[in-house]
Amino acid sequence: MLEVGTKAPAFTLPDKEGNPVSLSDFLGQKVVLYFYPRDNTSGCTRQACAFGAAYGQFQALGVAVIGVSKDSVASHQKFAAKNALPFLLLADPEHQVIEAYDVWKEKKLYGKVSMGTVRATYVIDQQGFIEKAMPKVKPDTNAQEILDYLKGESHP
């Protein structure tokens, strides 16, 4: 994981409509940038739906939510439509951003070793610096943990 206090790597990736979205578009606003392995898998769907259900609370705090995986634009479009996801999903099929954020790792499943995206979340501050780094997040509690953290920050 990238260190808290370091500049978040700049990026531009297509959203589910194919429109380019850059991290710099969000300067002046906090960003929750979460990385997940794959659209339409059980854990990733639960995580995305939890962020979707809490999206109004993130908006009320002025925080953008962005999900990133190596899935295609078309896959994201179907995933977002099927689950009524109101936030940005960015496609990183070449995993350039996934690697820049140090979440492309060796994974083991049933004794088989492969490379893939690990589930991790970053909070990026208004100036584009990493404020919080959360490795190995749980799909069912990630959104609420981030909200609790942000509310603690917003209302000391």
Q: Which residues are catalytic?
A: 44
Q: Which of 5, 23, 96 is nearest to 64 (CA)?
A: 23
Q: Which of 38, 57, 9 is nearest to 109 (CA)?
A: 38
φ/ψ of 142, rounded to 5, equals: -55, -50
Q: Residue 141 in 3-state DSSP?
A: coil
Q: Which of 52, 59, 88 is nearest to 150 (CA)?
A: 59
φ/ψ of 43, rounded to 5, equals: -65, -45
